[in-house]
Structure 1
Amino acid sequence: MQETKRQKQIAQLLQKELSDIFLRIGFNIVDGGMISIASIKMTPDLLEARVYLSMFQIKAPSEMLEKIKDRTGEIKKELGNRVGKQLRRVPELAFFLDDTLDYVFKMEELFKRIKEEDPNKDNK
């Protein structure tokens, strides 16, 4: 289903504010790795925001995701202070791992392996 203009506007607003909150809390750089908000998808009723996190060089992404989920209340409260005047209700936050970067690396590795296995295939 296509996202409405309002869903996209709110998702953009939340992404900007959550990025600032993550920076303030210290979740953006952890143990030499980086966490960024890859995207946010809003439900049609605007009551839930699905936040997809991209983790780069984080040793245990699932454990880090659990740490973030444990602090959801604190994050939502801070978000409410920032966007409370612009939204009737602050949406519930649901955090997920964004694995598109991992998928891209796996695909590149597969293409590299295919090319190494049969380098003369292109010349036939």
Structure 2
Amino acid sequence: MESKRQQKMASLLQQELAQVLQRDLPHVLAGGLVPSISAVHVSPDLGVARVYLSLLLGPDASARLAQIQEHTKEIRHALGKRIRNQARVVPELTFFHDDSAAYAAHMDQVLNQLDIPPAPPEDEADDASDEPERPRLFN
């Protein structure tokens, strides 16, 4: 469970990293689509941040993730410029591919392919006779 401090820092990093990737360093992805930052998890000492990127749109997610990882120092420097008044230390950044949306889409597709027969209709009269009679508490 993350502390309030970790949650606040994670929220700040998520917002500012999105701005860095969109506005400050658009050349990092060389004209590709900017990934969305799905989650940021910060260590208890606020020294390391695990950034999860959703790379659904666009070709070859692993190549784009490698491209971002090559520019980690540049991204961290730009982030430091943006949060220098809010944070004492800029955490080390590690980027990961978040494939939870792709997994959810796959599971939805699998569930839609299942052939589940509908439940047989039950008569209401049969239901009343099958249940044992409850004792009456009040007359």
**Normalising to structure 1: TM-score of the pair?**
0.87
Residue pair 2:39, 2:51 contacting (<8 A) in 1 also: yes
| Structure-2 residue corresponding to 1:22 | 21
Deviation at 1:34, TM superposition (A): 4.8
Which structure has the highest strand share of the two?
A: 1
Name the counterpart of 2:65.
65
After superposition, what is the alpha-carbon deviation per residue over 1:58-106, rounded to whole angstroms, capped at 9, x for unaligned?
A: 2100000000001111100011111112212100000000011011011
CA contact (8 A) 1:51 1:95 kept: yes
Give ranges in structure 2 of 5+ residues lacking alignment: 121-139
| Counterpart residue identity of residue 18, structure 1 | L
Structure 1's consecutive aligned runs of 4 or more residues displaced over 3 angstroms after TM superposition are none
- Residues 48 and 91 in structure 2, CA contact (< 8 A), matched pair in contact too: yes
For the pair shown, which has the larger CA radius of gyration, 1 or 2? 2
Distance 1:34 1:55 in 2: 8
1:123 aligns with 2:119: yes
Distance (Å, rounded) in 2 between the aligned partners of 1:34 and 1:68:
10
Instruction: Give, in whole Å, the separation in 2 of the partners of 1:80 and 1:42.
Output: 16
Aligned partner of residue 51 in structure 2, secondary structure: strand
- Partners of 2:83 and 2:57 in 1: how far apart? 31
SS at match of 2:58: coil
SS at structure 1 position matched to 2:95: strand
Return closer, same or farther for 1:89/1:34 CA change in 2, 3 Å cut-off. Answer: closer
1:80-119 map, 5 Å: 80-114=80-114, 118-119=115-116
Identity %: 38
Cα RMSD after superposing both structures: 1.4
Taking the aligned partners of 1:12 and 1:97, their CA distance within structure 2 comes to 18
User: 2:42, 2:48 within 8 Å by CA — same for their partners in 1?
Assistant: yes
Q: 1:93 & 1:34 partners in 2: Cα distance?
A: 17
Matched-pair contact (CA < 8 Å) for 1:34–1:58: no
